Structure 1
């Protein structure tokens, strides 16, 4: 089989993490609470960082007397602005092996599907001059519904596949939810085991496991003449 498309996650695949990830994003949450005149506790802010759920975030806002429906889009905008600023000052940059994307784009339809904010993803692709390589791009909408549709939900993956009119795609990610989402959407998967995933356990086997994007052209079904 030859893959008719290559789809990529962003964070940890194309773009490296901030050295203090995920705690670096506390600033965006604190700024959002400040806009509502609230001084949150450490536990309140923690509910909005790694592994956050809508239920926990809504509960914190309710306890502090903050309208969650107003808080959420403000938080999304502040988080996106913070991340774009990190790119501007060189705190977040693409991995060196992203250089292979230019060759891959000559032979494959390509897309980006990320659980990060759509505004952040678009900024990253434009800022680092990758935008022209991808025919479809999806980050999450700055709404509660958009957050609930992030991986392992297949919503954005399926939208990208429909845009490209493809069925035999390969999704490249760096997490268990990437692998689960790919397989649920009928795609094969590539797990990129970078340095931040050295001891990371995968409950579901990916189709392929690599340590660098430079290996992608050598995978079965991903060939220079496809």
Structure 2
């Protein structure tokens, strides 16, 4: 069982961890991207990339013969921040974050032009004392650099503070461990759909299991 007093600070992922989007939105985006690239994406392929089920999305795209740079360029051109936000919902079990009485940070692969409207739409902007949307410059999870950047902004980077990072992907667990933090893996899609189990210091299907 995880109690708030066990940790001096919390870090969290966004998509798939605190929020998710309606499947109809995901399906439509992949239809449009597929039209741009001249390649159809199946429901399973869309699910794998959207949720990062096989680890590195770029590596998975390359295995399918899709250039990651072309894919992401098309993907971001097709995404409308307003529509994305309107199709996003907050997981009820994530509401515990609002009650944390310790520094809280957000470390997400969701790009800033998409993340900011989502935070406003679901009303969770004020949950975080620091936020970082990963880029090529900041590095990507599981690299520890973006995590350490947020820790430094929170003032907990080098003072012996004990922290935890919670996310829905293997990259979140890797980033936590690489940065010297404990890791909570919340399994939103199910082990069967993922095709494997993701290890973590805590493995839950809902944050409600932590209390």
Q: TM-score range by the shorter chain?
A: 0.7 to 0.9
Give the conservation status (yes or no) of the 8 Å contact 2:84–2:118.
Answer: no
Match among 132, 140, 143 for residue 138 of structure 1: 132
CA RMSD of aligned residues (A): 3.3
Aligned to 1:169: 163
Distance 1:84 1:171, change over 3 A: farther
Distance 1:23 1:149, change over 3 A: farther
1:197 matched to 2:190: yes
Structure 1 residues not aligned, in runs of 5+: 34-39, 62-67, 219-226
Give the conservation status (yes or no) of the 8 Å contact 2:29–2:79.
Answer: no
Measured against aligned partners, the alpha-carbon deviations of 1:175-220 in whole angstroms (never above 9, x if no partner) come to 11111111011110101123x12424235x311112222344x3xx
Structure 1 segment 183-194 matched on structure 2, within 5 A:
183-194=177-188
Measure the CA separation in 2 of the matches of 1:27 and 1:165.
Answer: 43
Q: CA deviation at 1:124?
A: 1.2
Distance 1:77 1:43, change over 3 A: closer
1:41 matched to 2:38: yes
Q: CA deviation at 1:159?
A: 0.9
Aligned to 2:54: none
Give the conservation status (yes or no) of the 8 Å contact 1:80–1:117.
Answer: no
Distance 1:27 1:137, change over 3 A: farther
Structure 1 segment 75-154 matched on structure 2, within 5 A:
75=74, 77-81=76-80, 84-88=82-86, 91-104=87-100, 107-141=101-135, 145-146=136-137, 149-154=139-144
Match among 207, 210, 221 for residue 204 of structure 2: 210
Aligned to 2:58: 52
Question: Secondary structure of 2:143's match?
Answer: coil
Measure the CA separation in 1 of the matches of 2:178 and 2:26.
Answer: 27
The size of the alignment, in residue pairs, is 189
Aligned to 1:19: 23
Measure the CA separation in 1 of the matches of 2:140 and 2:127.
Answer: 23
